[in-house]
Structure 1
Amino acid sequence: MEFYNDNERFISILSDYGFKATFGNESDTTFLKKALQALIKSPVAIREIEFIKNEMTAITLDSRSGIYDLACTDENDNHFIVEMQLSEYPEFIQRMKFYALYRFNTLVKKGKYTFEGLQKIYCIGILANDIFSHIFDYHNVAVLRNEKGELIDDQMTFVTVELAKFKMPLSEIRTDLDKLIFTMKNLHTITEQTQFPTFWNEEWLNVAIQELDKKAMTPEQRLNYEMIISANALAVKNEKKKIEEAELRIKYETVKKMLASKQFSIEDIANFSGTSVDFVNTVQQKINSES
């Protein structure tokens, strides 16, 4: 999926820029408050949001952009961690547990290692692809329950959205959650305001959409957008280079081992390793020079 396309009027919410301009908009949290309420399926509106620094940067690095994408608290001191995952990541749930448990341990330490009155932690994962092949629903809320489905504890809640599973037609969309997911999947495909569904006139969604309208960008916003595009392109280029270098090392070691066995011809080694005869000869020369 292409998240940066100059032919499109609206920037995808799923892009780094789009996520930061909507979910991470510290100057106007109208969209974020409503989106979080929808994602955790709470009947109670969130009145205030305070962003908190990502304290995990010294522990682990995410290959796309930072650690988790957003961390904040509401007026009741509920904690929210939001992470966007665009590529395949089968172990994503393990990463969510790591984030939530790190936050849990931080709260326990702040409470001087007591467990009374711990604030709630909501760890929210928004995924472009499927991770639960055995689950049909595109939105799941998980807490600790026993085998009868009875609640044991809901101090930590894990919320996942699998965008690829959302196929609801526009005519059936009713809830804020479905409006949110539809917008995340489709905004960047819209070219004209006449194509807007009626619910995009709702304040919380309209605020987000205005932030992603390239026609309405200030020069500063445009510069920031282009800088992020440039940084992402460089990151992709560097990641591709790392992969190519790793593949080259594997091929080199494979050729080296096959040459050492003295059981294969140069042509057979080249075919087996997916390299060329010249590459095999180069490895042979390097081995000879080192011996």
Structure 2
Amino acid sequence: MGKFINPFTDYGFKKIFGQEVSKELLIEFLNDLLEGERVITDLTFLNNEQLPIYPEERIAIYDIFCTTDTGEKIIVEMQNRSQVYFKERALYYLSHAIVRQGVKGESWKFDIKAVYGVFFINFLLDENHKLRTDVILTDRETGKLFSDKLRQIFIALPLFNKTETECETDFERWIFVLNNMETLNRMPFKAQKAVFEKLEEIVDVHSLSEEDRVRYENSVNAYRDYLATIDYAAKKGSEEGFEEGFEKGIEKGIEKGIEKGIEKGIEKGIEKGIEKGIEKGRREEKFETARNLKSLGMTSEQIMQVTGLSLTEIESL
């Protein structure tokens, strides 16, 4: 086990950003993220499980949910796996936080506070391959800001490849530390920013109590199980897809000509076959991950959030 905790685990992420004793870290990170826009001087953690307004509504569960000293709501999440409707899910969460600001009575006139969503993602958001994607509401023609009440920031961690010495801003220093924390032997950047000394204290594995160490190890095991399941599903899906695609590619290629047809057919068939195989493998991986998380005591709602499976599918396992 490394010197510092793994921030990609559920326990590790909330240990860093989601507890009162480390509130200073979240404030510092958000200020570095929003540098030049605004300054947060204090925040309050809210219940991260937001009950539905109506019984038939889907429950919303966030990693971290807080409000600033001036009333803005901020949702912070670490997402390790891609989902088909991930963008829509992020929008749903922010919309939910906006709607719940409504106050009964005629005196309230839609005076809502801004809602921010900060999403650390351990995958690529889309084909644009951007480290940071900022989403705001603007006029399509003029580009002028239409409303500042909704803001989404996606940080694609795999796209950050700077070394320690190449980091120039405090935001880059944060991303470097989060990306490399579990493998670091020392906490860098303490000379540039005092908050990294506080971070070092929080994330030192040896400073954990026996109870917290057990919780952390369980969280690490769940994370490793997830990675192993992903690798297995991708490998199995690729192998099955390769065989199926290879056969179809040859058949189609021969029809168009021995030399040119085989070359082109194999290429296209393999590509489609691998895609089909991976898709099948991912479906199997979802159920395997759900079983692992269920064995660790996670609720059906939490498993539904992680895997994207329906409540019926999860409860049938």
Tell me the TM-score normalized by structure 2.
0.63
Which residue of structure 2 lines up, in the alignment, with residue 101 of structure 1?
95
Counterpart residue type for residue 53 of structure 1 = N
- Displacement of 1:52 in angstroms is 0.6
Provide the C-alpha distance between the structure 2 equivalents of 1:85 and 1:200, rounded to a whole number of angstroms.
30
1:139 lines up with 2:123 in the alignment: no
- Provide structure 1 residue ranges, at least 5 long, that are not aligned to the other structure: 1-5, 244-291
1:110-154 Cα shifts (integer Å, max 9, x gaps): 6769444311100111100101212x4311221111232111111
CA-based RMSD of the aligned residues comes to: 3.1
Q: Which residue of 1 aligns with 2:189?
A: 198
The alpha carbon displacement at 1:181 in A equals 0.9
| Superposition deviation, residue 35 in structure 1 | 1.2
How big is the shift at 1:226?
3.3
Separation (CA, whole Å) in 2 of partners of 1:120 and 1:97: 14
Asked whether the equivalents of residues 79 and 120 of structure 1 are also in contact (C-alpha less than 8 Å), the reply is yes
Could you report, residue by residue, the CA deviation over 1:63-121 in whole angstroms, capped at 9, with x for unpaired residues? xxx82201001110111011211012242110111001111111124676944431110
Give the SS at the match of 1:27. helix
Q: Cα distance 1:161–1:234, how it changes in 2: closer, same or farther (>3 A)? A: closer
Say if 1:32 and 1:93 are closer, same or farther in 2 by CA, change over 3 A: same
Residue 119 in structure 1 maps to residue 113 in structure 2? yes
Moved more, 52-61 or 12-21: 52-61
| Distance in 2, Cα, partners of 1:38 & 1:214 | 26
What amino acid maps onto 1:217 in structure 2? L
Query: What is the alpha-carbon distance in structure 2 between the residues aligned to residue 20 and residue 94 of structure 1?
Result: 24
Q: Quick one: which amino acid aligns to residue 9 of structure 1?
A: K
Contact 2:4 / 2:182 at 8 angstroms: preserved in 1? Answer: yes
The CA distance in 1 between the partners of 2:105 and 2:175, in whole Å, is 37
Identify the residue that residue 76 of structure 1 maps to in structure 2. Answer: 70
Q: Does the aligned pair in 2 maintain the 1:138–1:162 contact within 8 Å?
A: yes
1:180 is displaced (CA, Å) by 1.1
Q: Report what 2:161 is aligned to.
A: 167
Number of equivalent positions: 227
The yes-or-no answer on 1:33 pairing with 2:35 is: no
Between stretches 83-92 and 96-105, larger displacement belongs to 83-92
SS at match of 2:199: helix
Measured after TM superposition, the shift of residue 185 of structure 1 is 0.4
Higher helix share: 2
The one of 44, 49, 52 equivalent to 2:43 is 49
Between the aligned partners of 1:117 and 1:150, the Cα distance in structure 2 is: 21
Q: CA deviation at 1:235?
A: 8.4
Partner Cα distance (1:90, 1:175) in 2:
33
Aligned equivalents of 1:112, 1:180: Cα separation in 2? 45
Q: 1:43: Cα distance to partner? A: 4.6
- Partner residue in 1 for 2:85: 91
Identity %: 24
Q: Show CA shifts across 1:223-243 (max 9, x none).
A: 33235446x37986xx99xx9
Q: Work out whether 1:177 is the aligned partner of 2:171.
A: yes
Q: Is 2:65–2:74's contact at 8 Å kept on the other side of the alignment? A: yes
Taking structure 1 as the reference length, the TM-score comes to 0.68
Residue-by-residue CA offset, 1:2-30 (whole Å, 9 max, x unaligned): xxxx2x22111121111111111212311
Deviation at 1:197, TM superposition (A): 2.8
Per-residue deviation, 1:218: 2.9
Whole-Å separation in 1 of the counterparts to 2:105 and 2:179: 41
2:204 paired residue number: 213
